[in-house]
Chains A and B, each alone.
Chain A
């Protein structure tokens, strides 16, 4: 019997899990895919929005501004990259100028700090690679960037170290009440829990239906992205938005915390919720969009393109409510969901507490992770120390990102460690570089096979069925 079961190990689920791990509780996170952050969180823009987009009074506005203020501390605690690079919403004409003034006003009402409107000259001195026809911009100094999946994995690891259990590859089929607790039937057996949290992202409406909550629907909207080589990483230093339209925030151009550049996303409603395929038209659309904002975009530097799907709720705002007694929905958390997640978490916990969940603070809560530094990020002294303890740090496996075998073995041995090639890639970036795993993928398969003591042929790229090798040669 668990005190709380959380369905979904995306950024929302793991933020709640970490929050609950502060208390003396028996918690379990159930995730249908093979790893943390394999749904919408994986292909998120990684931008921590300042909070001027969402209409005042909405949950989106409230949690966005709060969450944005919490991240710096969280990222420091968990030792994941965080960069307060600021964001700019460009204006190209009078209409846009009115729009950014509206956003400015809204930002003030939402409580966003360090917000200003800047003129063309100031703008171009900050960002010389913008198109010359810009006329001004809304400048939000508090906007930041993170690596969404590294962040989610760090939160999950930390929750796990503090006692939260995780079941991966576990899909919820049915939920029902038995006496005063829930029974959650999955492909891996049934689990009992007193409380349940629905953080199932793209499938949160289905879980809500199982719980018998008030109906809402998830309207999956796909967004495509292109990632550029680090040689393009200095094109802009701030996150560059276009004035918002009905379809969303427009195409953005932004640096990543690791020094790459990315452009995207577009927005297209799709039929199949987890269809993350890209299209020629979509890629061309985002390139066109990016070229509206910046000049000198070097398309030869594109190293990969990918897509993610937003869990857009039919209600227009985050669905954070009580679907049935002893349950909480944290559903339909689309943009600015990543930014809002750390603020949503304590709110969800308070909703559980209001329904009777007893919260006793753990005396021995560990708020930091251990042994998280990549070799490449170490100081010279740290490098020499690491090498003297573990010679695997001396063997570079990913040539593009300079990731060592020591880093990869670490990623596998960590709490909730990597079990797949993509799992290694998400944790330590092996295969993220310009050759996209061309050189290191065979080596990563070997290392996974050795460390997990399973045959090479059983190593997967990501989900069940994503086998890499088909057998031995003759």
Chain B
């Protein structure tokens, strides 16, 4: 089978990318989704708070997804469900599998990677102790509770203050479970402030910073965990251990972009984000393969995923139509003091639509700082921030006009505000 554009993943990223590509004149589009329905992880996010930026209203996850699914249907974009991509090559050949068609071979003119991310597990953290039932990643617990209608435990400790963990603290409480505490190894939360207020504080669930789980107890089912305070090197401090009785441990300790296919296609991966390096049009290091959403870097807000994915859809359309200018005069973006990473990573100014949204995360909590963008010649843009945190992604919008004048490189950094 030959296709102009194949989109791997039918979550919010893939859907938005498909819509924008279609609107930009690409008709032969195929979305490959591994789940039974479109919408991705949003379908299990039944809480609200989605869509404030894109729709200026609060939607639940399934509602947010449905708006895009409806548009995909209205535009007549083709998709295949329960379809898992097994292989991807750099010459844009895809092998996929589903129960209806069996093995499918597709040659695409362009591909958009929108596979999203997966949760870090107990194994990745290497938490010592026994290996009983009752240890869940927050997302798989969420699937059981919200999609299947089953409870995963009665007395719960949550490790990590990532957003899914916070959301699940509230969800489990509403379902009658006792959420004893959320334990966070960092001195700050990795989740959104609003989730801490609405999911923990409103339910009197304690959040312990600088603490971690040092041991899991229980032979067959979790019977408790040992928690301890950690020092500045994140090592448990002896003598601070405390046993907490529980039957369930939920893990919300980070998300990892799912880039196994990208690696197979020899796409360059940024070790900081674990996602592909991308251009101003979200194109990866392999020509004609684009990427967007959580497979590039983990977002806090689906709204930003949507915006980024529109861009990827536009970029792929340009590429297919032969209108994407070759990367000749490009410059790189560089994350410096206080900034962990910036996306996109390289910019070809001629390809910019009207503006570029630069997404970045800081590496620690800072108060009263300037977020500064500069090139070889000097400061291009500067904004004062009262409070920045690794848990909240920062976004800076720069116009095409400004970016066309950039000399060699674009540096993003934090500067202290002088009193």
- The chain A residues found within 8 Å of chain B, CB to CB, are 226-227, 231, 275-280, 282-283, 300, 302-306, 380, 383-384, 387-388, 391-396, 399, 402, 404, 435-439, 441-442, 446, 456-457, 460-474
A residues near B219, Cβ cutoff 8 Å:
463, 465
18 A-B pairs within 8 Å (CB atoms) are namely A275-B130, A279-B215, A280-B128, A280-B236, A302-B126, A303-B121, A304-B121, A305-B126, A388-B102, A395-B99, A396-B86, A435-B118, A438-B121, A438-B140, A460-B133, A468-B134, A469-B144, A473-B145
B residues near A460, Cβ cutoff 8 Å:
133
A residues near B214, Cβ cutoff 8 Å:
280
A394 touches B150 (CB 8 A): no
Partner among B86, B100, B118 whose Cβ is within 8 Å of the Cβ of A391: B100
Q: Roughly how many angstroms separate A406 CA and B303 CA in the complex, as a whole number? A: 38
A446 touches B148 (CB 8 A): yes
**Count of A-B contacts with CB under 8 A?**
137
Q: Roughly how many angstroms separate A466 CA and B148 CA in the complex, as a whole number? A: 20
Q: Roughly how many angstroms separate A276 CA and B220 CA in the complex, as a whole number? A: 11
- Place the interface of chain B in its size category: 35 or more
A462 touches B154 (CB 8 A): no
B153 touches A470 (CB 8 A): yes
A residues near B98, Cβ cutoff 8 Å:
394-395
The list of the 9 closest CB pairs from A to B, nearest first, reads A304-B123, A465-B220, A394-B99, A461-B133, A396-B84, A387-B102, A466-B220, A466-B133, A391-B99
A392 touches B99 (CB 8 A): yes
Asked if B34 lies at the interface with its beta carbon under 8 angstroms from chain A, I say: yes
A402 touches B86 (CB 8 A): yes
Q: Roughly how many angstroms separate A83 CA and B81 CA in the complex, as a whole number? A: 38
Asked if B151 lies at the interface with its beta carbon under 8 angstroms from chain A, I say: yes
- Interface-centre pick from A278, A391, A473 (highest chain B CB count, 10 A): A473
Asked if B338 lies at the interface with its beta carbon under 8 angstroms from chain A, I say: no
B152 touches A468 (CB 8 A): yes
A residues near B215, Cβ cutoff 8 Å:
277, 279
A residues near B121, Cβ cutoff 8 Å:
303-304, 435-436, 438
* Interface flags, B163-182, vs A, CB<8A=1, else 0: 00000000000011000000
Q: Roughly how many angstroms separate A437 CA and B214 CA in the complex, as a whole number? A: 22
Nearest B residue to A303 via CB reads B123
Which residues of chain B (223-277) have a CB below 8 Å from chain A? 236, 247, 263
Interface SS of B by simple majority:
mixed
Which residues of chain B (112-129) have a CB below 8 Å from chain A? 118-119, 121-124, 126, 128-129
A456 touches B150 (CB 8 A): yes
Nearest B residue to A405 via CB reads B99
Q: Roughly how many angstroms separate A461 CA and B134 CA in the complex, as a whole number? A: 9
B residues near A231, Cβ cutoff 8 Å:
263
A residues near B122, Cβ cutoff 8 Å:
304, 436
Q: Roughly how many angstroms separate A13 CA and B351 CA in the complex, as a whole number? A: 68
Q: A435-B119, A466-B220 are in contact. Are A472 and B151 (CB under 8 A)?
A: yes
Q: Roughly how many angstroms separate A98 CA and B236 CA in the complex, as a whole number? A: 42
What's the nearest-Cβ distance from chain A to residue B119, in Å?
5
A residues near B263, Cβ cutoff 8 Å:
231
B150 touches A462 (CB 8 A): no
B130 touches A276 (CB 8 A): yes
Partner among A275, A399, A438, A457 whose Cβ is within 8 Å of the Cβ of B137: A438
Q: A395-B82, A466-B220 are in contact. Are A279 and B145 (CB under 8 A)?
A: no
Q: Roughly how many angstroms separate A380 CA and B87 CA in the complex, as a whole number? A: 14
Q: A303-B123, A438-B139, A467-B221 are in contact. Are A473 and B151 (CB under 8 A)?
A: yes
A residues near B133, Cβ cutoff 8 Å:
460-462, 466-468
Nearest A residue to B103 via CB reads A383
A394 touches B148 (CB 8 A): no
B residues near A306, Cβ cutoff 8 Å:
131
What's the nearest-Cβ distance from chain B to residue A403, in Å?
11
Asked if B149 lies at the interface with its beta carbon under 8 angstroms from chain A, I say: yes
Q: Roughly how many angstroms separate A468 CA and B152 CA in the complex, as a whole number? A: 6
Q: Roughly how many angstroms separate A472 CA and B152 CA in the complex, as a whole number? A: 9
Q: A465-B220, A474-B175 are in contact. Are A283 and B126 (CB under 8 A)?
A: yes
Asked if B97 lies at the interface with its beta carbon under 8 angstroms from chain A, I say: yes
B residues near A380, Cβ cutoff 8 Å:
103
Q: Roughly how many angstroms separate A471 CA and B151 CA in the complex, as a whole number? A: 5
B residues near A441, Cβ cutoff 8 Å:
140
Q: A392-B99, A395-B98, A472-B149 are in contact. Are A436 and B144 (CB under 8 A)?
A: no
Q: Roughly how many angstroms separate A474 CA and B146 CA in the complex, as a whole number? A: 11
Q: A387-B102, A439-B140, A466-B221 are in contact. Are A471 and B150 (CB under 8 A)?
A: yes
A residues near B150, Cβ cutoff 8 Å:
456-457, 469-473
* Interface flags, B76-91, vs A, CB<8A=1, else 0: 0000001010100000
